[in-house]
């Protein structure tokens, strides 16, 4: 029930960008118009030159979605989807096509929202930043030749690669700005817990406590590894929100009634409470994840987003 690790989506906490998740943007350039000769025609029997045909209209680039009028290229979606499929297969995961497509599209939309916010706040990746990131990626892929081989195999030019990287850097900048706003302290409680699998046992324990038994002694009996110590935690941290709600409703020294959750039957006792207790690194990461999720939800609710793929 107590969190022991923090897992974020693949691009929310990357090492800024991974070669396995880079996506492609393909551009369409209008062909150059042929030169047109002007001047009076010669007085010969040579027929007049045929009119120069108008250049063809560029074919619009297919999009997977639009976010506030900005397109997410279909090529980007397809490459990311192929890479996710490969990663899932390598990990032995069985994931439906629909779930994989949704995950990729959600990630790309969230990334677009972050990058747009960064640009609106004045952030633009500098040439020095781009060069530094390219060097870092090259170092992690066997050198410049290894990175160039990967780019070529996936249809990238250096210019397109840097354009993609610029978008990733903008999204990461905004993400980090949001995470940095989460404070390093929070209202927290320190609590002990007794957790059993059936209500009858929980009721018996509660009766024993009400008769004067020491909570810490019983907690150690039912959990000799941690002695039932949940440690310090803020709101939004525990996997059992019912237990968390009960803990924050109690004063130090008070004991709860029986609390039922998906983990079983709990009885807790609050040991201490501090309105400005320092957050553990893990707890702050969990709150940062929640802050980022809230930000993205708010942005989605007020943005114009159109999905063009299923």
List pLDDT tens digits, range 210-225: 999 999 999 999 999 9
- Look at residue 57 in the predicted model and tell me its pLDDT: 63
Residue keyed to tokens 């046992």:
201
Answer whether residue 54 shows pLDDT above 70.
Answer: no
CB 175 within 8 A of CB 182: no
Q: Domain-by-domain residue ranges, the chain?
A: 63-180, 186-278
Answer whether residue 50 shows pLDDT above 70.
Answer: no
Lowest mean pLDDT segment, chosen from 35-44, 148-157, 164-173:
35-44
CB 76 within 8 A of CB 65: no
| pLDDT tens-place string over residues 229-250 | 999 999 999 999 999 999 999 9
* Main-chain dihedrals φ then ψ at residue 293, nearest 5 degrees: -60, -40
Q: Give the count of beta carbons closer than 10 Å to the beta carbon of residue 47.
A: 7
CB 275 within 8 A of CB 187: yes
- Look at residue 39 in the predicted model and tell me its pLDDT: 39
Residue 116 in 3-state DSSP? helix
Mean pLDDT, residues 292-301: 97
Mean pLDDT, residues 29-57: 45
How far apart are the C-alpha atoms of 42 and 48, rounded to whole Å? 9
| pLDDT tens-place string over residues 178-203 | 999 999 999 999 999 999 999 999 99
Question: Band of the pLDDT at 30, cuts 50, 70, 90?
Answer: very low
Say which CATH topology domain 186-278 has: Chitinase A; domain 3 (3.10.50)
What lies within 8 Å, CB to CB, of 218 at 6+ separation is 194, 205, 208, 209
Lowest mean pLDDT segment, chosen from 24-33, 194-203, 257-266:
24-33
- Look at residue 219 in the predicted model and tell me its pLDDT: 97
Nearest to 241 by CA among 207, 220, 266, 212: 266
| pLDDT tens-place string over residues 60-109 | 889 999 999 999 988 888 878 888 998 999 999 999 999 999 999 999 99
* pLDDT over 70 percentage in the chain: 81
CB 104 within 8 A of CB 81: yes
The CATH architecture annotation of domain 63-180 reads Orthogonal Bundle (1.10)
- Look at residue 163 in the predicted model and tell me its pLDDT: 76
* pLDDT over 90 percentage in the chain: 61
Answer whether residue 21 shows pLDDT above 70.
Answer: no
Answer whether residue 159 shows pLDDT above 50.
Answer: yes
Range list of H helices, 140-198: 144-153, 158-180
CB 209 within 8 A of CB 215: yes
Q: Is 124 exposed, middle or buried (0-12, 13-18, 19+ CB in 10 A)?
A: exposed
- Look at residue 31 in the predicted model and tell me its pLDDT: 27
Answer whether residue 45 shows pLDDT above 80.
Answer: no
- Look at residue 120 in the predicted model and tell me its pLDDT: 96
CB 286 within 8 A of CB 237: yes
Answer whether residue 12 shows pLDDT above 70.
Answer: no
Residue 299 in 3-state DSSP? helix
95-102: long-range contacts, CB 8 A cutoff, minimum separation 24? 98/310, 101/309, 101/310
Answer whether residue 2 shows pLDDT above 70.
Answer: no
């Amino acid at each position: 029930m107590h969190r022991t690790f923090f897992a974020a989506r693949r691009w929310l906490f990357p090492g800024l960008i991974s070669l396995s998740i880079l996506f492609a943007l393909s551009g369409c350039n209008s062909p150059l118009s042929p030169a047109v000769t002007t001047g009076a025609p010669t007085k010969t029997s040579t027929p007049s030159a045929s009119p120069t045909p108008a250049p063809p209209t560029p074919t619009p680039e297919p999009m997977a979605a639009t976010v506030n009028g900005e397109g997410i290229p279909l090529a980007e979606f397809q490459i990311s989807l192929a890479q996710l499929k490969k990663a899932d297969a390598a990990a032995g995961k069985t994931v439906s096509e629909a779930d994989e497509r949704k995950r990729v599209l959600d990630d790309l939309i969230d990334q677009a929202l972050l990058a747009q916010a960064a640009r609106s706040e004045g952030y633009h990746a500098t040439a020095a930043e781009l060069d530094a990131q390219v060097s870092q990626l090259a170092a992690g892929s066997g050198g410049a030749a290894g990175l160039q081989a990967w780019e070529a195999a996936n249809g990238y030019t250096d210019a397109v690669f840097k354009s993609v990287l610029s978008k990733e850097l903008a999204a990461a900048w905004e993400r980090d700005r949001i995470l940095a706003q989460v404070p390093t302290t929070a209202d927290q409680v320190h609590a002990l817990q007794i957790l059993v699998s059936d209500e009858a046992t929980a009721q018996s324990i509660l009766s024993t406590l009400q008769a004067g038994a020491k909570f810490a002694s019983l907690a150690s009996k039912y959990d000799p590894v941690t002695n039932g110590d949940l440690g310090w935690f803020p709101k939004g941290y525990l996997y059992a929100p019912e237990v968390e709600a009960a803990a924050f409703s109690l004063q130090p020294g008070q004991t709860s009634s029986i609390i039922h959750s998906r983990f079983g039957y709990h009885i807790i006792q609050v040991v201490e409470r501090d309105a400005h207790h320092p957050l553990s690194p893990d707890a702050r990461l969990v709150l940062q994840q929640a802050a980022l999720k809230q930000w993205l939800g708010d942005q989605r609710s007020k943005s114009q987003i159109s999905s063009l793929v299923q």
